[in-house]
Chains A and B, each alone.
Chain A
Amino acid sequence: MAITKRTEQDKIEVVGPFKMIQVRTATVIEEDGVEISRSFHRHTVAPNISSDALDNESADVRAIATQFHTDAVKTAYAAHLNEGE
Chain B
Amino acid sequence: MSTIKVDTITTRTGSGNITVSNTIAGNLTGNVTGNVTGNLTGNSTVGGTLGVTGLITASGGLSVGSGGDTNTMDDYEEGTFEPTFTSAAGDFTNVGYSGDTGGRYIKVGNLVYAQGCARINGTLNKSNRSSGETLVLGNLPFTQSSRSNGDNADSIPVVRCPVWSSGDVPERGIMRNGEAGFSLVKMANNATSHTITVSDLPSDAMMQFTVMYTTN
Name A residues whose Cβ lies closer than 8 Å to a Cβ of B: 15-18, 20, 22, 24, 39-44, 46, 48-50, 52-53, 77-78, 80-85
Asked whether any CB of chain A lies closer than 8 Å to the CB of B174, the reply is yes
List residues of B (177-196) whose CB comes within 8 Å of A's CBs. 177-181, 183, 185, 193-195
28 contacts between A and B (CB under 8 A): A15-B145, A15-B216, A16-B177, A16-B179, A16-B216, A17-B178, A20-B143, A22-B143, A39-B79, A40-B77, A41-B79, A42-B80, A42-B81, A42-B141, A42-B142, A44-B139, A44-B140, A44-B141, A46-B86, A46-B181, A48-B87, A48-B88, A77-B178, A80-B176, A81-B88, A82-B134, A84-B183, A85-B195
* Chain A residue, CB-CB nearest to B172: A85
Q: How far is the CA of A46 from the CA of B139 in the complex (A)?
A: 8
Give, as a whole number of angstroms, the nearest-CB distance from B70 to chain A: 20
Known contacts A15-B143, A16-B216, A85-B194, A40 near B88 by CB under 8 Å:
no
Contact across chains for B80 and A22 when beta carbons are under 8 A apart: no
Q: Which residues of A contact B143 (CB under 8 A)?
A: 15-16, 20, 22, 44
Contact across chains for A42 and B195 when beta carbons are under 8 A apart: no
Using a Cβ–Cβ cut-off of 8 Å, how many residues does chain B contribute to the interface with A?
A: 39
Known contacts A44-B143, A53-B91, A80 near B179 by CB under 8 Å:
yes
Q: How far is the CA of A6 from the CA of B139 in the complex (A)?
A: 23
Name B residues whose Cβ lies closer than 8 Å to a Cβ of A: 77-82, 86-91, 105, 133-134, 136, 138-145, 148, 174, 176-181, 183, 185, 193-195, 215-216
Q: Which residues of A contact B77 (CB under 8 A)?
A: 40
Contact across chains for B195 and A48 when beta carbons are under 8 A apart: no
Partner of A81, one of B139, B148, B183: B183
Q: How far is the CA of A24 from the CA of B105 in the complex (A)?
A: 12
Give, as a whole number of angstroms, the nearest-CB distance from A57 to chain B: 12
Contact across chains for B194 and A48 when beta carbons are under 8 A apart: no
Contact across chains for B179 and A42 when beta carbons are under 8 A apart: no
Q: How far is the CA of A17 from the CA of B147 in the complex (A)?
A: 12
Given contacts A22-B143, A43-B139, A46-B181, 6 further A-B contacts (CB under 8 A): A22-B180, A40-B80, A42-B79, A48-B88, A84-B183, A84-B195
Q: How far is the CA of A45 from the CA of B105 in the complex (A)?
A: 17
Give, as a whole number of angstroms, the nearest-CB distance from A85 to chain B: 4
* Chain A residue, CB-CB nearest to B195: A84
Partner of A44, one of B145, B180, B194, B195: B180
